[in-house]
Amino acid sequence: MKVVLQLGLGLLLLATHYVPATSVPSPQCQKQCGDVEIHYPFGIGVNCSLEELFSVKCQVQDGISKPIFGENFELLNISLANSTVRVLNQIATYCYNDTSGDMDSHYWGIKSKNTPYRFSDIHNKFTVIGCNTIGYIGDEGSYLSGCVSTCGNLSDLTDGSCSGIGCCQTAIPRGMDNYKVNFNMVTNASQILRFSRCSYAVLVEAEAFNFSTAYITTNKFNDTNAGQVPMVIDWAIRNETSCEKAKRNETGTYACLSGNSECVNSANGPGYVCNCSKGFQGNPYLPDGCQDVNECNDGPCPLGGVCHNTVGGYRCSCRAGRKFSKQNKTCDPDTGLIIGVTVSFLVLVIFSSSGYMILQKRKLNKVKQEYFHQHGGLLLFEKMKSEKGLAFTVFTEVELIHATNNYDKSRIIGKGGHGTVYKGIVKDNMPVAIKRCALIDERQKKEFGQEMLILSQINHKNIVKLVGCCLEVEVPMLVYEFIPNGTLYELIHGKNQALQISFSTLLRIVHEAAEGLNFLHSYASPPILHGDVKTANILLDHNYMAKVSDFGASILAPSDEEQYVTMVQGTCGYLDPEYMQTCQLTDKSDVYSFGVILLEVLTGQVPLKLDGPEKHRSLSSNFLLAMKENNLDAVLESNIKGQESAELIRGLAELAKQCLDMCGGNRPSMKEIADELSRLRKLSLHPWVQLETEVETQSLLGGTSTASFEIEAATTGYPAQEGDNMPMNPRSSYYAR
Contact assessment for residue 20 and residue 253, using Cβ atoms and an 8 Å cutoff: yes
Q: Clarify whether 532 is annotated catalytic.
A: yes
Contact assessment for residue 88 and residue 67, using Cβ atoms and an 8 Å cutoff: no
Identity of residue 105: S
CA distances from 515 to 55, 77, 598 (A): 115, 101, 14
Number of C-beta neighbours around residue 340 at 10 A: 9
Instruction: Map residue 289 onto helix, strand or coil.
Output: coil
Contact assessment for residue 386 and residue 457, using Cβ atoms and an 8 Å cutoff: no
Instruction: Map residue 230 onto helix, strand or coil.
Output: strand
DSSP 331-376: EEE-HHHHHHHHHHHHHHHHHHHHHHHHHHHHHHHHHHHHHHHHTT
Contact assessment for residue 204 and residue 125, using Cβ atoms and an 8 Å cutoff: yes
Residues whose CB falls within 8 Å of the CB of residue 85, separated by 6 or more in sequence, listed in order: 42, 69, 75, 76, 77, 78, 79, 232, 233, 235
Residue 338 CA to residue 335 CA, distance in Å, equals: 5
Beta-bridged to residue 555, according to DSSP, are: 529
What is residue 25's DSSP assignment? Answer: P
Residue 663 CA to residue 665 CA, distance in Å, equals: 5
Burial category of 170 from C-beta neighbours within 10 Å (exposed 0-12, middle 13-18, buried 19 and up):
middle
Contact assessment for residue 547 and residue 487, using Cβ atoms and an 8 Å cutoff: no
Taking alpha carbons only, the member of 535, 532, 480, 484 closest to residue 509 is: 535
Q: Helix, strand, coil % (nearest 5) of the chain?
A: 30, 25, 45
Contact assessment for residue 189 and residue 102, using Cβ atoms and an 8 Å cutoff: yes
Burial category of 77 from C-beta neighbours within 10 Å (exposed 0-12, middle 13-18, buried 19 and up):
middle
Q: Is-cis flag, bond preceding 41, omega within 30? A: yes
CA distances from 109 to 136, 137, 207, 321 (A): 12, 9, 22, 69
Identity of residue 189: A
Dihedral of CA atoms 318, 323, 325, 328 in degrees, nearest 10, equals -70
Question: What kind and span of H or E run contains 77?
Answer: strand 73-79
Number of C-beta neighbours around residue 79 at 10 A: 12
- Which of these is catalytic: 177, 234, 292, 532? 532
Instruction: Map residue 681 onto helix, strand or coil.
Output: helix
Residue 568 CA to residue 581 CA, distance in Å, equals: 9
Residue 715 CA to residue 711 CA, distance in Å, equals: 11
Contact assessment for residue 384 and residue 469, using Cβ atoms and an 8 Å cutoff: no
Taken in order 331, 336, 338, 339, is the CA torsion positive or negative? positive
3-class SS string, 700-733: HCCCCCCCCCCCCCCCCECCCCCCCCCCCCCCCC
Residues identified as active-site: 532
